[in-house]
Amino acid sequence: MTRERRGLIIVYTGDGKGKTTAALGLALRAVGAGLRVWMLQFIKGDWKPGELKGAQLLAPNFSMVQLGIGFVTYKPKRPFEEHVEAANKAWEQAKAEMASGRQDILILDEINNAFRFNLLTAAEVVEVLRTKPEALHVVLTGRGAPPEIIALADLVTEMKAVKHPYDQGIPAQRGIDF
Ligand code: ATP
Ligand code: MG
């Protein structure tokens, strides 16, 4: 096999822990290999997970932005329309980054949740990904990846929950869960 650069569409989905952290692990490896990574977190945005500071330690080759406005369905603090607006703005920024040629990898973290909550349609994202720059790798994470996204992807891994500390009543741990 020749080592030609072939941009992949990678999906981490499923109900087990490890989707976002798999994307972060990939980012760490990629930055070490000299690639530039841009990560966008949909949905989240009203708290600061550890990866936001961790990403800064890998700047400028790793940049992360959070453009969500918090929980959509669970005790939402903001009306649904504002979530739709935030998700669409985030998607616009992702498209701009995709077109800029500045990045080697784009991570669209929790985008599957944006589909599940009807903030964005999978069809519009698929349409853009079909014409993405050839060499660009794109990673999509979140539970419940829709069939159109799975059909388009080159690599799909489904995280399966076998055990999670939460089931024993152990709260989320800083540095492990956020
Ligand atoms: P991580 O960011 O840890 O890789 P994830 O991206 O796979 O997790 P998300 O659905 O984005 O999972 O949820 C993130 C948070 O939910 C994390 O704090 C994670 O520990 C927790 N979580 C993930 N899977 C489960 C589960 N099966 N039961 C309870 N909590 C979970
Ligand atoms: Mg996640």
Domain assignments of the chain as residue spans, ordered by start: 9-160
**Rounded (5°) CA angle 52-72-175:** 30
What is the distance in A from the centroid of ligand 2 to the CA of 170? 18
Q: Is 8 in the pocket of ligand 1 (CB under 6 A)?
A: no
Question: Residue 5: its pLDDT value, please?
Answer: 86
Q: What does pTM read for this prediction? A: 0.94
Cα of 1 vs centre of ligand 2, distance in Å, is: 33
How much is the pLDDT for 57?
A: 96
Mean pLDDT of successive 10-residue segments in the chain (178 residues)? 86 98 98 98 80 95 90 80 93 97 97 95 98 97 98 98 97 95
CB 77 within 8 A of CB 136: no
How much is the pLDDT for 100? 96
Instruction: Say if residue 119 is exposed, middle or buried (CB neighbours under 10 Å; 0-12, 13-18, 19+).
Output: buried
Cα 46 to middle of ligand 2, angstroms = 15
Atom 17 of ligand 1, nearest CA residue: 177
Kindly provide the residue ranges of all beta strands, DSSP E only, lying in 15-103, ordered along the sequence: 37-41, 62-66
Closest by Cα among 107, 136, 129, 122 to 21: 107
CATH code of the domain occupying 9-160: 3.40.50.300
Q: Are 111 and 141 in contact (CB under 8 A)?
A: yes
